[in-house]
Amino acid sequence: MAQHQVRFTVPERPVGNSDIEFSITRDGAKFGKLRVSKGAIVWIPVNKTYGHKLGWAKFAELAVENGTDGHK
């Protein structure tokens, strides 16, 4: 199973207008970035400038349909 590492930075801006960016690695190699804002999330694959944006309602729908139960 792949091993993931997640790092993030919080830009110094007023809370509510700041995106939070998570840097994701997989097995020690860059995998992509996840930007979280109050309006959406954006997945940016490694070596790409633009990402795949999902509004929160669509993200919630996909998580429920495709995710696993969080309980072990």
Domain residues for the domain of 62 are 4-66
Q: Where are the beta strands (DSSP E) in the chain?
A: 4-9, 20-26, 29-36, 40-45, 52-55
Q: How far is CA 12 from the centre of its chain?
A: 19
37: nearest Cα among 53, 58, 50, 60: 53
Q: Does the residue 72 lie in any domain?
A: no
Instruction: Establish if 52 belongs to a structural domain.
Output: yes
pTM of the model: 0.75
pLDDT at 72 over 70: no
71 occurs within a structural domain: no
Tell me the pLDDT tens digit for each residue of 21-64: 889 999 999 999 999 888 899 999 999 999 999 999 999 999 99
User: Is 59 or 72 the better-scoring residue by pLDDT?
Assistant: 59
Residues in the chain: 72
Note whether residue 27 is domain-resident: yes
Q: Is residue 57 part of a domain?
A: yes
- The number of domains in the chain is 1
